[in-house]
């Protein structure tokens, strides 16, 4: 049978597996399988050449039983409503497993920002906000950046929102620049949180992080900060890294500053002197202690899972592993740090950003990191404990914790 790569079908099948272990009430299960609310809209954008192009936008509020929805906005040519649904579902489980008082949501626009000027991206971002402004806010749903969106875009969106509502409300969008009420440590938070979980997983698996080798797929926000902080603060040896064009490899390690300078100069990683060029497939199958998918969905599948040689897979990307690959990796004894635990650092610090916006008083970066460490370590240990006590793999364990928490809030509200 052909492997189903539809992200929402995958998210639903992961929930189904957890529901079975939990013996979840069938009515509750049916409710949690679907998003509570979806917005589909068109965004007409005046292009620089005077023509108007119409883009398709989405916002999915998957579940807000535990608090207002929370989730990024992605700009991508391959965006689909099912990708947004899956990402919104994973946000629901992510906020629940991290035990922060928020629900799950996600947004997206089908577009290719690399083919657009900065002015066109600004008009698109403001147009997106005009469509969703009435449906979001600090007590309803709080957007943030995701793939191909960044703090600059969050500033435009917040400005449009505040213009519409006629007052300041910085906590409505997180991942903002510091000057707009952003939190210290937010840009690096997803990578930092992931590295804290890798530190815990290394301890469990008898690995010394300071001597560990790793390969990172993706050199965007998450991948590049994981390279930087992994090397500089955790002493890890990054021996391979890639972007969408391909990757580079050197067993002696790849120096972050040098690689960044090359990437800034040429726009790519390949061609970096002092390393061999490799494909993304070769990177995934490399012999390393820790493999870190930090790019896009469906990278570890039934086709390559057998070839994975890493001891730990730290899923910083959302949905990088298909259920079939999951089974193969678990059978091989690979320790997986599941995505919605591994990459929860971003949403945890987004939550800290909202809290700081609420009382207009800002924390030092060291305090942000310390509180992030405490929060994500607690979640990691609880998932690991659940995995051992229930004799289930780490992904199912993370689902058991998250689904229990969301189902309890749904029950207390009397929805089901």
Cite the DSSP H helix spans in 46-136: 81-97, 118-132
Pair 184, 178: CB distance under 8 Å: yes
- Closest approach, Cβ 220 to ligand NAD, in A, equals 2
Name the token pair of 69: 């929805």
If we measure between CA atoms, which residue out of 242, 237, 233 comes closest to residue 253?
Answer: 237
Enclosing H/E stretch for 210: none
Pair 177, 156: CB distance under 8 Å: no
Q: Is 221 a binder of ligand NAD (CB under 6 A)?
A: yes
Distance CA 353, CA 205 (A): 33
Residues 317-346, one symbol each (x = binds ligand NAD by CB under 6 A, - = not), give: xx------------------------x--x
Site for ligand NAD in 173-192 (CB under 6 A): 190
Q: Which of 10, 295, 336, 407 binds ligand NAD (CB under 6 A)?
A: 295
- Closest approach, Cβ 254 to ligand NAD, in A, equals 14
Name the token pair of 321: 């592993």
390 carries an active-site annotation: no
Q: Is 243 a binder of ligand NAD (CB under 6 A)?
A: yes
196 phi, psi to nearest 5 deg? -65, -40
If we measure between CA atoms, which residue out of 211, 59, 203 comes closest to residue 130?
Answer: 59
Q: Which of 78, 244, 257, 365 binds ligand NAD (CB under 6 A)?
A: 244
Distance CA 89, CA 389 (A): 25
Q: Is 280 a binder of ligand NAD (CB under 6 A)?
A: yes
Site for ligand NAD in 103-162 (CB under 6 A): 145-148
Catalytic residue among 2, 70, 94, 106: 106
Distance CA 347, CA 356 (A): 14
Residues 385-414, one symbol each (x = binds ligand NAD by CB under 6 A, - = not), give: ------------------------------
Q: Is 223 a binder of ligand NAD (CB under 6 A)?
A: yes
- Closest approach, Cβ 361 to ligand NAD, in A, equals 24
Q: Which residues are catalytic?
A: 106
Binding site for ligand NAD (CB under 6 A): 145-148, 190, 217-223, 242-244, 280, 294-296, 316-318, 343, 346
């Amino acid at each position: 049978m052909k492997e189903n790569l539809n992200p929402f079908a995958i998210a639903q099948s992961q929930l189904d597996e957890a529901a079975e272990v939990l013996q979840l009430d069938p009515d509750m299960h049916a409710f949690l399988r679907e998003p509570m609310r979806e917005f589909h809209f068109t965004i007409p954008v005046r292009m620089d050449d005077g023509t108007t192009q119409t883009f398709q936008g989405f916002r999915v509020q998957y579940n807000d039983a535990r608090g207002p929805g929370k989730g990024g906005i992605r700009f991508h040519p391959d965006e689909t409503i099912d990708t947004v649904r899956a990402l919104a579902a994973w946000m629901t489980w992510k906020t629940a497993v991290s035990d922060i008082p928020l629900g799950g949501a996600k947004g997206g626009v089908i577009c290719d920002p690399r083919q657009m000027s900065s002015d066109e991206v600004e008009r698109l971002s403001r147009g997106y906000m005009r469509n969703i402004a009435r449906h979001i806010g600090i007590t309803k749903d709080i957007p943030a950046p995701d793939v191909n969106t960044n703090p600059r875009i969050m500033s435009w969106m917040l400005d449009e929102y505040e213009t519409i509502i006629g007052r300041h409300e910085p906590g409505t969008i997180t991942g903002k620049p510091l000057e707009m009420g952003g939190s210290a440590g937010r840009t690096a938070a997803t990578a930092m949180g992931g590295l804290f979980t890798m530190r815990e997983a290394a301890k469990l698996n008898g690995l010394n992080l300071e001597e560990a080798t790793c390969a990172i797929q993706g050199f965007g926000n998450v991948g590049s900060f994981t390279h930087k902080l992994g090397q500089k603060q955790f002493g890890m040896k990054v021996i391979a890294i890639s972007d969408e064009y391909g990757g580079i490899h050197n067993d002696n390690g790849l120096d972050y500053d040098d690689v960044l300078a090359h990437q800034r100069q040429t726009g790519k990683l390949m061609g970096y002197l002092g390393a061999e060029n490799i494909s993304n497939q070769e990177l995934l199958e490399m012999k390393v202690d820790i493999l870190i998918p930090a790019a896009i969905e469906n990278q570890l599948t039934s086709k390559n899972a057998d070839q994975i040689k890493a001891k730990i897979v730290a899923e910083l990307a959302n949905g990088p592993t298909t259920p079939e690959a999951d089974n193969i990796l678990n059978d091989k004894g690979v320790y997986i740090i599941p995505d919605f635990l591994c990459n929860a650092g971003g949403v945890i610090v987004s939550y800290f950003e909202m809290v700081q916006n609420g009382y207009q008083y800002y924390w030092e970066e060291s305090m942000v990191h310390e509180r992030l460490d405490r929060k994500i370590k607690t979640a990691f240990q609880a998932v690991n404990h659940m995995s051992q006590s229930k004799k289930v793999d780490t992904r199912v364990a993370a689902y058991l914790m998250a689904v229990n928490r969301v189902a309890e809030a749904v029950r207390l509200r009397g929805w089901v």
